[in-house]
Amino acid sequence: MADPLDWIDQALDQLSKSGLMRSLSTRSTPQSPSRFELNQRPLLNFGSNDYLGFASENLLEAVRASIDRYGWGSGASPLLGGRSEDHAALESETARFEGTESALVFPSGFAANVGCIASLVSKGDVVFSDAHNHASIIDGCRLSRARVVVYAHNDMSELKRHLREAGSGTRRLIVTDSLFSMHGDVAPLADLADIASRYQAMLMVDEAHATGVFGQRGRGLCERAGVAEGGLIRVGTYSKALGSHGGFVAGQARLIRWLVNRARPYFFSTAAPSAVAAASRAALQLVDRQPHRRQTLLENAERLRETLRERGWNIGNSTSQIIPVIVGDDQAAMRVSERLSKGGVFVPGIRPPTVPIGQALVRVSLSYGHSDEQIDRLLQTLGGPDD
Ligand SMILES: *Cc1c(COP(=O)(O)O)cnc(C)c1O
Tell me whether residue 181 is one of the annotated catalytic residues: yes
Of residues 132, 134, 209, 245, which has the active-site annotation?
209
- Residues 108, 245 contacting (CB under 8 angstroms): yes
Atom 1 (ligand 1) nearest CA: 208
The tens digit of pLDDT for each residue in 32-83 reads 998 899 999 999 999 999 999 999 999 999 999 999 999 999 999 999 999 9
Cβ(244) – ligand 1 distance below 6 Å: no
pLDDT of residue 352: 85
- Ligand 1 centroid vs 208 CA: distance in angstroms? 5
CB of 237 sitting under 6 A from ligand 1:
yes
Q: Is the pTM value of this prediction over 0.85?
A: yes
CA distance 324 to 183: 5
Distance 26 CA to ligand 1 centre (A): 20
Per-residue b or e along 74-83, where b marks 16 or more CB atoms closer than 10 Å to that residue's CB: beeebeeebb
Nearest to 199 by CA among 235, 234, 226, 161: 161
Task: Please tell me the distance from the alpha carbon of residue 226 to that of residue 203, in angstroms, as a whole number.
Answer: 14
| Confidence label for 386 from pLDDT (cuts 50, 70 and 90) | confident
160 is catalytic: no
Ligand 1 centroid distance, CA of 246 (Å): 9
Which residue lies with its CA nearest to atom 14 of ligand 1?
208
Please tell me if the CB atom of residue 280 comes closer than 6 angstroms to any atom of ligand 1: no
Query: Which stretches within 248-369 are classed as H helix?
Result: 253-262, 264-267, 274-289, 291-310, 330-342
Confidence of residue 144 (pLDDT cuts 50, 70, 90): very high
Mean pLDDT lowest among 120-124, 230-234, 286-290 = 230-234
Residue of 132, 136, 209, 213 best suited for mutating to test ligand 1, as the one with most atoms within 8 Å of CB: 136
Alpha-carbon gap, residue 160 to 145, rounded angstroms: 22
Atom of ligand 1 nearest to the CA of 246: 7
Peptide bond before 265: cis, by omega within 30 degrees of 0?
Answer: no
209 Cβ inside 6 Å of ligand 1: yes
Q: Which of 240, 245, 280, 337 is catalytic?
A: 240
Nearest Cα residue to atom 6 of ligand 1: 109
Decide whether any atom of ligand 1 lies within 6 Å of the 181 Cβ.
yes
Q: Using an 8 Å Cβ cutoff, are 183 and 316 in contact?
A: yes
- How far apart CA 222 and CA 241 sit, in angstroms, is 16
**Ligand 1 geometric centre to CA of 136 (Å):** 7
Whether 273 has a pLDDT exceeding 90, the answer reads yes
pLDDT of residue 34: 86
